[in-house]
């Protein structure tokens, strides 16, 4: 048997090394001109006016929430099916998260559930954090309509959606602010790092101040409480090289996903959907199966990595025990979701191997359809 097929494999090369060496040679290794260049280039990529680089994706989320005015006593609606950082950032800003259930086909927020939650909370929601999970854009047209109707800000959690598009608009240009992560497994990386993008100069200024100890300018006038959430120039140098390669990375992910769709068509696995108008960037290729754990074990026996993102909903985490949440679709999906290798470092033979093993060597049971119920509001 050939070598293992990993669930993730960052691609780093001579250009990243060269740019990092140039920064090291310059002696300006902390926040500086390299970061400003990366911010400008990333804003342009997202078709946004402004970008503020941060130390990681979680600090980007926290910063964006603070910058759009979320604070103590506020309520922020989000999805229960995401990495815990989505909700943690809400709490870091002093606000309370509430959860609307997901669409089990897309894994993203279900607009009907969002609308019901907004109606039930009757004006007590101040913002929404909308996650584009696994690289699939959330249904932003309807969510934007609801946000306008109920006068709430939208922060896009695009930590997994670099390169995704929604009706030809880049993810990151669809809300009041958007956040990206550059963790090593993401569609592009800076090692660790994050970015806030926005078209609102006031939001950008507030974000830039918040990540720099609340400074008003480059001097020592601090007008508000802030953190040191700055990105280093070394990270930005890597990011600039990665950004140039991002379109190719995303295209390769899409090609790999299309081939997996073909290979898995005759199995009981429910493969990812990409609704009309959505340009999926396939940070993860996530299937739903009825026997998730046994499928993962069998793949491992064949040297194929897989991942469970995420095995429990946020409200089922011990840190969120105080919340009483009804999200049956999200809970069922958390029992069924299994992510397969789709990253651009895979060669054609490896993609064929992943699909063929699932098709020919593994018993895949169909997933039960997640139930949908009316929204409960006991977590307010």
Q: What would the pLDDT profile of 21-39 be if each residue is shown by its tens digit?
A: 999 999 999 999 999 999 9
Mean pLDDT in residue range 237-257: 98
Q: Is the confidence at residue 217, as pLDDT, over 90?
A: no
Q: Is the confidence at residue 16, as pLDDT, over 50?
A: yes
- Please report the pLDDT score of residue 3 as a whole number: 74
Give per-residue pLDDT as tens, 164-194: 999 999 999 999 999 999 999 999 999 999 9
Give per-residue pLDDT as tens, 5-15: 999 999 999 99
Q: How many helices (H) and strands (E) does the chain have?
A: 11, 12
pLDDT band at 1; cut points 50, 70, 90: very low
Mean pLDDT in residue range 331-360: 97
- Please report the pLDDT score of residue 377 as a whole number: 42
Is there a contact between 70 and 90 (Cβ–Cβ < 8 Å)?
Answer: yes
Give the side-chain half-sphere CA count within 13 A for 309.
Answer: 21
pLDDT band at 374; cut points 50, 70, 90: very low
Mean pLDDT check: name the lowest of 91-100, 281-290, 308-317, 367-376. Answer: 367-376
pLDDT band at 375; cut points 50, 70, 90: very low
Question: CB-based burial of residue 71 (10 Å sphere; 0-12 exposed, 13-18 middle, 19+ buried)?
Answer: exposed
Phi, psi of 251 (to 5 degrees): -60, -40
CA 27 to chain centre: 33
- Please report the pLDDT score of residue 369 as a whole number: 78
Q: Is residue 340 within a helix (H) or strand (E), and if so which, with residue range?
A: strand 337-340
* Portion of the chain with pLDDT greater than 90, in percent: 94
Q: Is the confidence at residue 53, as pLDDT, over 90?
A: yes
Q: Is the confidence at residue 299, as pLDDT, over 60?
A: yes
Q: Which segments of the chain belong to CATH 3.90.1150.10? A: 247-360
Helix (H, G, I), strand (E, B) or coil at 97: strand
Mean pLDDT in residue range 240-269: 98
Neighbouring CB atoms inside 10 A of 145's CB total 12
Contacts of 13 (CB under 8 A, 6+ apart): none
Instruction: Give the separation between CA 357 and CA 152, rounded to whole angstroms.
Output: 47
Instruction: Give the separation between CA 59 and CA 359, rounded to whole angstroms.
Output: 41
According to CATH, the topology of domain 14-240 is 3.40.640
Contacts of 259 (CB under 8 A, 6+ apart): 348, 351, 352, 355
pLDDT, averaged across the chain: 95
Q: Which segments of the chain belong to CATH 3.40.640.10? A: 14-240
Neighbouring CB atoms inside 10 A of 267's CB total 20
Instruction: Give the separation between CA 137 and CA 278, rounded to whole angstroms.
Output: 6
- Please report the pLDDT score of residue 44 as a whole number: 98
- Please report the pLDDT score of residue 294 as a whole number: 97
pLDDT band at 380; cut points 50, 70, 90: very low
- Please report the pLDDT score of residue 371 as a whole number: 47
| Helix boundaries (H) for 152-289 | 201-210, 233-264
DSSP 108-129: SB-HHHHHHHHHHHTT---EEE
- Please report the pLDDT score of residue 218 as a whole number: 72
CATH for 247-360 (3.90.1150.10, 3.40.50.2300, 3.40.50.300, 1.20.1250.20): 3.90.1150.10
């Amino acid at each position: 048997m050939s070598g293992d097929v990993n669930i993730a494999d960052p691609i780093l090369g001579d250009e990243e090394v060269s740019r990092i060496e140039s920064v090291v040679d310059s002696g300006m290794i902390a926040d500086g001109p390299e970061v400003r260049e990366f911010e400008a280039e990333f804003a342009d990529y997202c078709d946004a006016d402004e970008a503020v680089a941060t130390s990681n994706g979680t600090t980007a989320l926290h910063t964006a929430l603070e910058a759009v005015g979320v604070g103590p006593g506020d309520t922020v609606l989000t999805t229960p099916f995401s990495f815990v950082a989505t909700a943690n950032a809400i709490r870091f800003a002093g606000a309370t998260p509430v959860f609307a259930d997901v669409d089990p086909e897309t894994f993203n927020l279900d607009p009907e559930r969002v609308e019901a939650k907004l109606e039930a909370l009757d004006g007590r929601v101040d913002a929404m954090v909308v996650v584009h999970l696994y690289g699939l854009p959330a249904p932003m047209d309807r969510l934007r309509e609801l946000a306008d109707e109920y006068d709430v800000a939208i922060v896009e959690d695009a930590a997994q959606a670099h390169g995704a598009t929604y009706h030809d608009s880049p993810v990151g240009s669809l809300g009041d602010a958007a956040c990206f992560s550059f963790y090593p497994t993401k569609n592009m990386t800076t090692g660790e790092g994050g970015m806030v993008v926005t078209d609102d100069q006031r939001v950008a200024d507030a974000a830039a101040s918040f990540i720099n100890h609340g400074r008003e300018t480059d001097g020592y006038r601090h007008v508000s409480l802030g953190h040191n959430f700055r990105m280093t120039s070394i990270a930005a140098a890597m990011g600039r090289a990665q950004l140039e390669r991002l379109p190719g990375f995303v295209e390769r992910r899409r090609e790999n996903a299309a081939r997996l769709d073909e290979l898995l068509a005759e199995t009981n696995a429910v493969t990812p959907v990409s609704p009309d108008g959505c340009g999926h960037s396939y940070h993860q290729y996530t299937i739903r199966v009825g026997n998730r754990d046994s499928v993962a074990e069998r793949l491992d026996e064949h040297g194929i990595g897989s991942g469970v993102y995420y095995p429990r909903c946020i409200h089922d985490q011990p840190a969120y025990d105080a919340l009483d949440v009804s999200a049956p679709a999200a809970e069922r999906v958390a029992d069924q979701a299994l992510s397969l290798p789709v990253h651009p470092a895979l060669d054609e033979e490896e993609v064929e191997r992943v699909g063929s093993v699932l098709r020919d060597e593994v018993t895949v049971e169909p997933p039960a359809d997640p139930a949908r119920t009316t929204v409960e509001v006991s977590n307010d």
